[in-house]
Structure 1
Amino acid sequence: MKKKVLGIILGGGQGSRLKPLTSTRSKPAVPIAGKYRLVDIPISNCLHSNIDRIFVLTQFNSASLNKHIKNTYTFGNFSGAFVDILAAEQTPENDGWFQGTADAVRQSMQHFTAYDWDYALILSGDQLYQMDFNEMVKNHEKSNADISIATLPVNAKDATGFGILKTNDNNEITSFVEKPSAEELGDWKSDVTSEMSSQGRDYLASMGIYIFNRELLIELMENKETMDFGGEIIPQTIKTHKVSSYQYEGYWTDIGTIGSFFEANLGLTDDIPQFDLFGNDTNVLTRPRFLPPTKISGTTLEKTLIAEGGIINASRIERTIIGIRARIGIGSTISNCYVMGNDKYEGATEIEQKRKANIPLKGIGDRCYINNCIIDKNSSIGNDVKINGGDHLEDIDTDLYTVRNGIVVIKNGVVVPSGTVII
């Protein structure tokens, strides 16, 4: 399988809807679940499917992503496996940025065609799901398709936010509409399984996961007028080629906004989460770190995931993700939060100097109350800070924090003074 398929992961644009989390890093490099990066999700899905030649395409704030890829995905010298970053670059043929998903692939084709492969598997870098791509490839071959698109049954409410597909009895896609209005949906119901239909999920949405036959992809990329797969290439090729639907019914979410990012992370704290971090064959792969165990003292924990290397003295933590090297002080209460942690520890000398200067240490101080909040990496929150996110807060952007849909996002590396109140 691995010699047949080349993995191509699209890193996305500036990720403006995920700001401020993407202010200093690319979207695939955003930390998720306390110890991973978003890019680890599609890469792990590929590697578990024995697809081990993977390119990640990006152009914005790619330094931390480069570092993560380099430190994580190393293979034997003779295996032929790799995960490589391809950032937008000026060449005699192309002198500008990627203008869309298809343009990103087009500008990188000379790197892809240097390898032998029958199929290109094109993925998004900002989705949370677990899929065996072997099954999708088998379905692609069995149906003798030119292109296969992974599709997800959705309900009428969600359908207006997706590209919606219509299929015939052979699961061949016959028509496509991008983000239809509620009034348009009547004609777009598809045949789905009885389980999906019972849930009202009668519309097939494109998941942005594609398989292209090699020669067809090369041919399509010669047309420099098309910039996007979903908006241009897919609607055009449906009329001229055999495009098949591969229906997926598992958990999948698009992490494109602060709200979806927040809910996807907190959903991992459920008793039986929809995304399984603990499966033997579906575990998420990431950078190995040589960190001590997290030390917890005097803390009541409820539905909380805690990564390694932390020092936790909080009073109570509930429905929260705690990232690597996190520090939380005595008497603090944290609920409905994602605390990303720190990239490194503060040394004894640095701690002593900060305390003398009355500067908060990295992490969360004593006697804080924090609810409905994302705390980005390397932030320093002083003592007696009160943050209560919720629908009562209006969207705002300040030097220290951003509010989006009631979620307070403390920015990367900022210092929140003791006594600060955001309610």
Structure 2
Amino acid sequence: MTHKVVSIVLGGGRGTRLYPLTDQRSKPAVPIAGKYRLVDIPISNCLNSGYNKIFVLTQYNSASLNKHIKNTYNFSVFSKGFVDILAAEQTNEGDRWFEGTADAVRRTQKNLANVDYDYVLILSGDQLYQMDYEAMVNFHVNNGGEITIGTIPVTAKEAHAFGILKSNENNEIVSFVEKPSDDLLPDWTSEVPENLARQGRNYLASMGIYVFSKGVLAQLLRDNPGMDFGKEIIPEAIENNKVLSYPFDSYWTDIGTIPSFFEANISLTDNIPLFNLFGDPVFTRPRMLPPSKVSGTTLNSAILADGCIILSDKIEQSVIGIRSRIGRGTVIKRTYMMGSDYYEDLSEVVEKTSSQQPPPIGVGERCYIENAILDKNCRIGNDVRIIGGKHLLDQDFEHYTIVEGIVVVKKNAIIPNGTTIGH
């Protein structure tokens, strides 16, 4: 049976942990895998699950996200489906920013009034995974849940970043702690499948994926003034409501930091990646781009998006985004190059290639780039060396940032000829 579900994707706050990628865009709009945006992941999971009534909540730097959703998710006039953005706004009830996940949903509830639904699916906008939400909703309904939380086993090292819970033999959550400290962890282990226990994944973590029965969500948000689901709403609900744990054991990663974002993208180049781009479709903006053109390049474990012109010597374990241009003699390793938003005219490219004032968009000739993220529309000149590594200290400069050894070249940055970053 198909249940009536409305989905809410939480766009997050300022996304400071993903700086500088979130300096000029909201977190859900950050490009991933060379041609998608982060927001495409939960929306695609919804559409693949048969749920096409979707709100995306955001408040910071939302212009590019608005444009992406407007150009991507257009449903037939005969369909009741939609993907709408709800941004924090000044109203008679208040003029403040969203102050947490629950506050964001509470303040946008009025937009649900004209939607026919029985269950609310609340999702995060900065996670990479593939999940059948219909199976989760069916689990919620068949087991008489009022709230169901998607859960996944994690290690002790990871547990500090999550809400950790315990459930009984009926998958009912009986206790919950948000981001436990080291001294609390020994009391929060759970029974998990043997293969996961061998990996040290003994702690049951909330994925930040929730199913609420319609009336339950409205009542909780009315009676509990808490601003955040994980910190305030869920712990109280466990005392008074039937809250279920929906176990998930496939690939899932929270990509809210630069290192996790970088590894999530680079891992897509594995022979058999944990996230399968070749299974259920990941929807995104349809672009009328030419196929990529490669000349004289050795490619090894590389992903190339559409519309690239590649003349480099070697690309290894890297993701190359749309409209990328890479010059002769260049070597790129363990790098995510996001590409560009537009093509420069050929005459401009020729002129800028000869004068290098500034360099053309893309990567120039005889460069060596490793352990880096190159944001959109970078201009990297000739003979540039960018070598990230754990030996580098975290620093922020005008055109690039170093985070845990990863060099992030900022959007629209200019890196002149002969520049060396790292050693």
Q: TM-score range by the shorter chain?
A: over 0.9
* Structure 1 position 256, deviation (Å): 0.8
Equivalences for 1:161-180 in 2 at 5 Å?
A: 161-180=161-180
Partner-residue secondary structure (3-state), 1:84: strand
Aligned counterpart, 2:229: 229
Structure 1 segment 103-118 matched on structure 2, within 5 A: 103-118=103-118
AA in 1 matched with 2:206: S
Asked if structure 2 preserves the Cα contact closer than 8 Å seen for 1:127 and 1:253, the reply is yes
**1:254 aligned residue:** 254
- For residues 221 and 153 of structure 1, what CA distance do their matches in structure 2 show? 28
**Aligned-residue offset at 1:200:** 2.5
Q: Is the 8 A contact 2:73 2:82 kept in 1?
A: yes
Distance across 1 between alignment mates of 2:317 and 2:175 = 42
Report the equivalent of 1:409: 408
Matched residue of 1:394: which SS?
A: coil
Q: CA deviation at 1:353?
A: 4.2
Structure 1, residues 221-251: CA drift from partner, whole Å, max 9, x if none?
2246210000000001000000000000000
TM-score w.r.t. the length of structure 1 is 0.98
Q: Distance in 1 between matches of 2:387 and 2:302?
A: 19
For residues 168 and 125 of structure 1, do their structure 2 counterparts lie closer, same or farther at Cα, with a shift above 3 Å needed? same
- Confirm or deny that 1:300 pairs with 2:327: no
Q: How does 1:14-413 map onto structure 2 within 5 Å?
A: 14-223=14-223, 225-279=225-279, 282-355=280-353, 357-359=355-357, 360-413=359-412
1:328 and 1:57 map into 2 onto residues whose CA distance is: 37
Which range is displaced more, 149-158 or 311-320? 149-158
What displacement does 1:355 show? 4.1
Contact 1:2 1:52 in 2 (8 A): no
4+ runs deviating over 3 angstroms: none
| Contact map agreement 1:164 1:205 (CA 8 A) in 2 | yes
Q: CA deviation at 1:352?
A: 4.2
SS at match of 2:184: helix
Query: Aligned partners of 1:183 and 1:103: how far apart in 2?
Result: 31
Q: Which moved more, 1:386-395 or 1:354-363?
A: 354-363
1:48-75 Cα distance to aligned partner (Å, 9 max, x none): 0000000000000000000000011111
CA shift digits 1:139-175 (9 cap, x unpaired): 1011101100000011222222211001111110010
> Quick one: distance in 2 between partners of 1:99 and 1:78?
37
Q: Is the 8 A contact 2:348 2:360 kept in 1?
A: no
Which shows bigger deviation, 233-242 or 351-360?
351-360
Taking the aligned partners of 1:206 and 1:242, their CA distance within structure 2 comes to 16
How big is each residue's C-alpha offset from its partner over 1:291-312, in whole Å with a ceiling of 9 and x where there is no partner? Answer: 0010000000110000010000
Q: Residue 94 of structure 1 contacts residue 107 of structure 1 at CA under 8 Å; is this kept in 2? A: no
Secondary structure of the structure 1 residue equivalent to 2:208: strand
The more displaced of 148-157 and 214-223 is 214-223
Secondary structure at 2:237's aligned position in 1?
helix
Aligned counterparts of 1:357 and 1:255: Cα–Cα separation in 2 = 39
Q: Which one is further off, 193-202 or 377-386?
A: 193-202
SS, match of residue 106 in structure 2: helix
Is the CA contact 2:356–2:381 (under 8 Å) kept in the aligned structure 1? no
Decide whether the 8 Å contact of 2:372 with 2:409 is kept in 1. Answer: yes
Q: Deviations over 1:383-410 (max 9, x none)?
A: 0000110011111111110000000000
| Distance across 2 between alignment mates of 1:421 and 1:2 | 57
**Matched residue type, 1:293:** P
Distance 1:98 1:150 in 2: 24
Range moving further from structure 2, 352-361 or 26-35: 352-361
The one-letter amino acid of 2:37's match is R
Which position in structure 2 is the counterpart of 1:420?
419
The answer (yes or no) to whether the contact 1:9–1:54 under 8 Å persists in 2 is yes
CA distance 1:140–1:224, change in 2 (3 Å): closer
**How many residue pairs get matched?**
421
Q: TM-score, normalised by structure 2?
A: 0.98
Which stretch has the larger CA shift, 176-185 or 3-12? 176-185
Aligned equivalents of 2:165 and 2:3: distance in 1? 30
Partner secondary structure for residue 183 of structure 2? helix
Contact 1:151 1:207 in 2 (8 A): yes
1:276-303 deviation digits (Å, cap 9, x = unpaired): 0011xx2211111110010000000110
In structure 1, give the amino acid aligned to 2:330: S
| Inter-partner Cα distance in structure 2 for 1:194 and 1:357 | 62
Distance in 2 between residues matched to 1:132 and 1:351, nearest whole Å: 46
Q: Is the 8 A contact 2:224 2:233 kept in 1?
A: no
Q: Distance in 1 between matches of 2:299 and 2:345?
A: 28
**Are the counterparts in 2 of residues 147 and 243 from structure 1 also a CA contact under 8 Å?**
yes
How far apart in 2 are the matches of 1:114 and 1:219? 18
Question: 2: distance between equivalents of 1:238 and 1:102?
Answer: 16
The alpha carbon displacement at 1:202 in A equals 1.8
Q: Structure 1: where are the runs of 5+ without partners? A: none
SS, match of residue 238 in structure 1 = helix
CA distance in 1, matches of 2:166, 2:356: 63
Q: CA RMSD in A?
A: 1.2
Work out whether residues 136 and 246 of structure 1, in 8 Å CA contact, stay in contact via their aligned partners in 2: yes
Partner SS state of residue 9, structure 2:
strand
One-letter amino acid of the counterpart of residue 262, structure 1: F
| Mean CA deviation greater in 86-95 or 117-126 | 86-95
SS at match of 2:240: coil
